Amino acid sequence: MDQRGQARLDEFLGALLFAGMILALYMAFLQAPREKTMGDLQRIFYFHVSSGITGLTAFAVNFAASVMYLVRRNRWWDHVALSSAELGVMFLSIVLVTGPIWAKPVWFVWWTWSPRLTSSLVLWMLYVAYLLVRNYVLDPDRRALVSAVFGIVAFVDAPIVWFSIRWWRDIHPAPMLETGGLSPSMRPAFYTCWAVFQILFIYLLRRRFFLEASRQEVEWLQRRADMVS
Amino acid sequence: MEKINPMNYLFAAYVAIWIILALYLYSIHSREQSLREEVRRLRDLLEKKSRQ
């Protein structure tokens, strides 16, 4: 796709995201019914869970891109891996901030070392470390290689986060969609928010990817300028 | 102890979400700007050198 096509796609995704966000807020605050036990506080659920799933999706993309880099040794995959890792950290940050805000009035504590909460925090720290490690390796090919291996190893924690509430007793609620804990009248709001967060992820992934491509262009131009002088 | 309205927590959670998203968008935008300027500067430099 040429530059004009990319710009048009970005504009389309931006417009879709804007309309989607308004719809998601409408669904979460006005369409979804008030929950019996927690009342309006439960409305945190729609963005909190959507962020969590999108964060895990981002780490899965990082894992796949890291494997592809090791197979193909093409920097394109390293750009995808880095972009998705950064987005995963951002989405998981939303989860780790909104979680305690929701927990305080319901569990009467901001934080507890339950399997789901602990494994989520560990996952966040692993990918923050991934982003930091990249800054300490100067050679671009070596940096991509080290990051790919790190990304693959870090992803081991993602299934633990996902299955923790199925494997162990946890204060965190059980998976609501599987156990039928989420009322059918609340599902449209949840699916809308989840879909909008996926669009947000695609939109931000594209922007972050092109940022990395620009950085590579700067490196290339810098090398050319050094050679000419 | 004064009881806090649960609506305040709901408000705080959504404010936090928008702040995190806004900060991230701002960080991407400012990085895009500085890289765009750097690309322009290097291209001008190369053009000047090729003319000399």
- Answer whether residue B5 is part of any domain: no
The tokens for A225 are 């300028």
pLDDT at A51: 97
Instruction: Give the end-to-end CA distance of chain B in Å, rounded to a whole number.
Output: 77
- Answer whether residue B11 is part of any domain: no
Residues making up chain B, counted from first to last: 52
Closest by CA position to A62, among listed A91, A36, A34, A42: A91
pLDDT at A6: 87
pLDDT at B3: 65
pTM of the shown model: 0.93
Q: Is the pLDDT of residue B1 over 70?
A: no
pLDDT at A169: 81
Contacts of residue B10, defined as CB under 8 A and 6 or more positions apart, other chains included, come to: A40, A41, A43, A44
Q: Of the candidates A43, A97, A225, which has its C-beta nearest B16's C-beta?
A: A97
pLDDT at A171: 78
Residues of B in contact with A218 (CB under 8 A): 35, 38-39, 42
Residue of A nearest to B31 (CA): A211
- Answer whether residue B19 is part of any domain: no
pLDDT at B2: 56
Contact B42, A221 (CB under 8 A): yes
CA A187 – CA A206 distance, rounded (Å):
29
B1 against A153, higher pLDDT = A153
Closest by CA position to B42, among listed A22, A228, A2: A228
| CA A45 and chain centroid, separation | 16
Quick check: B22 contacting A, CB < 8 Å? no
- One-letter amino acid of A194: W
The tokens for A23 are 């719809």
Contact A101, A38 (CB under 8 A): no
- Answer whether residue B15 is part of any domain: no
pLDDT in tens, B3-31: 678 889 999 999 999 999 999 999 999 99
Q: Tell if the CB–CB gap between B36 and A214 is shorter than 8 Å.
A: yes
Q: How far is B52 from chain A (nearest CA, A)?
A: 11
Rounded to a whole number of angstroms, the CA Rg of chain B reads 23
Contact A213, A17 (CB under 8 A): no
Exposed/middle/buried for residue A108 (C-beta within 10 Å: 0-12, 13-18, 19+): exposed
Please give chain A's pLDDT, 229 residues, in tens: 788 888 899 999 999 999 999 999 999 999 999 998 889 999 999 999 999 999 999 999 999 999 999 999 999 999 999 999 999 999 999 999 999 999 999 999 999 999 999 999 999 999 999 999 999 999 999 999 999 999 999 999 999 999 988 888 877 877 776 666 788 999 999 999 999 999 999 999 999 999 999 999 998 999 888 887 6
Contact B46, A224 (CB under 8 A): yes
B1 against A61, higher pLDDT = A61
pLDDT at B51: 83
- Answer whether residue B12 is part of any domain: no
Contact A71, A144 (CB under 8 A): no
Give the number of domains in chain B: 1
A35 φ, ψ (degrees, to nearest 5)? -75, 145
- Answer whether residue B8 is part of any domain: no
Closest by CA position to A29, among listed A41, A19, A16: A41
Range of the domain at B33: 25-52
Q: How far is A222 from chain B (nearest CA, A)?
A: 7
Q: Is the pLDDT of residue B34 over 80?
A: yes
